[in-house]
């Protein structure tokens, strides 16, 4: 079974892959030590779409963007697609509501600024997809609907709008997840209060509350996941389709929570294929 430890081991092994235009560039999008992303560029010239990788870990400080390295490298080394592996402030390190949301929004917008400059203008910003695991799936789903946020909300008025998103075992219904005590109270910690007491935060932080996204959101989820149950994706997809979105659920029989971030597992291939489909590189 894939665990965070084996995911990190896969990341270390993937670092030896030579099939990139250059070593990945670490680019800051803010002054905090956690405000950066790594840009992985494929070989060749010309414009390329972008898949943004948002790691999980229930928004907690001890889990880092290292989890996204093998996925980003697999994308850029094997497809004509750039990968943007995002780090952000997490709970215990200055993150939580609203800082975490502000960070992933700023990281995505950096594709139109510092990351585009580092790529010598190669990034096709009309074809950007977010792929995120677990809490990163929450953030990917949130980014897909970010343009619907009211003025003044964290992350409102995006410079870069997604063409779609692929939440991997994502926490997509924040209120329901809080009631289910996912991550042993991780949602309350992320929100900075008991979820039931801050409906105004849920209204701007929960992907399901920001429907319709207006873009494809393909949820990939294992039906044996006992960390983030598949009901999260089921509830989101049902609500999204009722709102008129082209959402769908890719159900992975017998799959748990971590296989989707193992680049050697068919579960990750299902996630990658969904993202490539949205950017038009399937």
pLDDT in tens, 12-68: 444 434 478 678 989 999 999 999 999 999 998 899 999 999 999 999 999 999 999
Q: Find the mean pLDDT for residues 172-177.
A: 98
Residue 23 pLDDT: 87
The rounded Cα 111 to chain-centroid distance in angstroms is 15
- Write out the two tokens for 89: 């402030």
Select 4-279's CATH number: 3.90.600.10, 3.40.50.1860, 3.40.50.1820, 3.40.50.300. Answer: 3.40.50.1820
Q: What is the DSSP letter of 179?
A: H
Please provide the DSSP assignment of 119-157 as one string.
TTT-EEEEEEEEEEETHHHHHHHHHHTGGGSPTTSTT-S
Residue 1 pLDDT: 43
Relative orientation angle of helices 4-14 and 69-78, to the nearest 10 degrees = 40
The 10s digit of each residue's pLDDT in 217-245 is 999 999 999 999 999 999 999 999 999 99
Question: What is the CA angle 267-270-272, rounded to 5?
Answer: 110
Residue 169 pLDDT: 98
* Average pLDDT over the chain, rounded to an integer: 93
Q: Find the mean pLDDT for residues 208-217.
A: 98
Cβ proximity of 247 and 218 under 8 Å: yes
Enclosing H/E stretch for 222: strand 218-222
Torsion over CA of 215, 145, 235 and 238, rounded to 10 degrees? Answer: -30
Measure Cα distances from 22 to 18, 73, 119, 228 in Å. Answer: 8, 11, 10, 36
Measure Cα distances from 118 to 77, 114, 123 in Å. Answer: 18, 6, 10
Enclosing H/E stretch for 220: strand 218-222
pTM of full prediction above 0.75: yes
The order of strands in the sheet holding 82-86 is 25-28, 36-40, 82-86, 48-54, 123-133, 164-168, 218-222, 248-252
The 10s digit of each residue's pLDDT in 90-135 is 999 999 999 999 999 999 999 999 999 999 999 999 999 999 999 9
Measure Cα distances from 131 to 38, 117, 125, 246, 277 in Å. Answer: 15, 23, 16, 17, 12
Indicate the domain borders of the chain: 4-279
Residue 243 pLDDT: 98
The 10s digit of each residue's pLDDT in 124-174 is 999 999 999 999 999 999 999 999 999 999 999 999 999 999 999 999 999
């Amino acid at each position: 079974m894939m665990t965070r430890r084996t995911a990190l081991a896969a990341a270390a092994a993937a670092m030896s892959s030579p099939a990139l235009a250059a070593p990945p560039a670490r680019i800051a999008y803010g002054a905090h030590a956690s405000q950066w992303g790594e840009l992985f560029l494929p070989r060749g010239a010309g414009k390329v779409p972008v898949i943004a990788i948002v790691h999980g870990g229930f928004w907690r400080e001890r889990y880092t963007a290292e989890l996204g390295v093998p996925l980003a490298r697999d994308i850029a080394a094997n497809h004509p697609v750039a990968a943007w592996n995002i780090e952000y402030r997490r709970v215990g390190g200055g993150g939580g509501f609203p800082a975490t949301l502000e960070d992933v929004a700023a990281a995505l917008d950096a594709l139109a600024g510092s990351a585009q400059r580092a790529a010598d203008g190669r990034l096709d910003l009309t074809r950007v997809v977010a792929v995120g695991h677990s809490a990163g799936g929450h953030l990917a789903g949130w980014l897909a609907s970010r343009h619907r946020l009211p003025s003044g909300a964290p992350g409102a008025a995006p410079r870069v709008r997604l063409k779609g998103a692929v939440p991997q075992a994502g926490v997509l219904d924040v209120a329901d997840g809080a009631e289910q005590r996912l991550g042993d109270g991780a949602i309350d910690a992320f929100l900075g209060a008991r979820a039931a007491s801050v409906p105004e935060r849920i209204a701007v932080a929960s992907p399901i509350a920001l429907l319709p996204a207006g873009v494809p959101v393909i949820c990939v989820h294992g039906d044996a996941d006992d960390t983030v149950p598949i009901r999260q994706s089921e509830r989101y997809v049902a609500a999204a389709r009722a709102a008129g979105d082209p959402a769908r659920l890719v159900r992975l029989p017998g799959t748990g929570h971590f296989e989707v971030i193992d680049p050697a597992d068919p579960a990750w291939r299902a996630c990658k294929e969904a993202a490539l489909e949205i950017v038009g590189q399937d």
